[in-house]
Structure 1
């Protein structure tokens, strides 16, 4: 039998479905870097990308018996990577100061929960429209509550640059709300809290 490194993706998937740990290791070896790069592109933060990578391969092992060996394993991994990365970003956002400052949905109200989930999706979309530098400054200053000085020190940039990036981020989010009128009712209350 040829070594697993010579196997096709479909053959590896069949071995994995049978619980072959060596096949899992080979899949990890082949796809570790592209999956991580994809997670980093979505999360824009190394520690979050590492968390997403770990969740992807845990999911792969847990769901190994449900994989279709005739379909692209790489495609499956990237879909799982996307969902895990978005979930991690959502969790981070909800743990931020912004989440704590906005009104919470009523306990047990499904309608309120759905509305709240929609609001967070709009905010996440607005944040994802920012460049990596502007987004990071916005997260540090507005979501994590750091001062301009603390943000400048962490990112190794000047306090003046922090102010410029933050101002540009706020302008971008406001412009996002103008181009997406359905989001204005969500982003405007946030503006009252943070965009002063």
Structure 2
């Protein structure tokens, strides 16, 4: 039987949505709470607020888990954190100096920058989809599932050496794909 800790975020969310699986929620919480808490604390500079905001994000995650199109939950959680930080700012009516600091810390970007980031993410996702199946699976477990090479080897029943080779192969193909896109963009 596969241990639930080896599941990627999308698999864990499915368990939460379909079965209200507390173990799956606990794994997600343990996997991502610290990152979200640190991010909120860095912006808000208040431990109690940071903990409350991070807790609220995970409460919302339990009540209404999102549907993911990729294996990592982090982009969704950071987006939820940005939204909660904005609500806190409006609720507390911070002064202009605090707002300037927070806007610079959050890295508010223009619509063009947002669209460029979205396009880049889409290109990356397409490049990952074009990887050979086993290679893609290993790469996603490593980069989006945050598993170690040893954990991936155990989960897939392959050697750590094979995992390392799949990751090297994936990175090589992704570099090639993205370099081609950059060349096309700049020669356009």
Structure-2-length-normalised TM-score: 0.48
TM-score scaled by length of structure 1: 0.46
Higher alpha-carbon Rg: 1
Higher relative contact order, structure no. (Cα contacts within 8 Å, ≥ 6 residues apart): 2
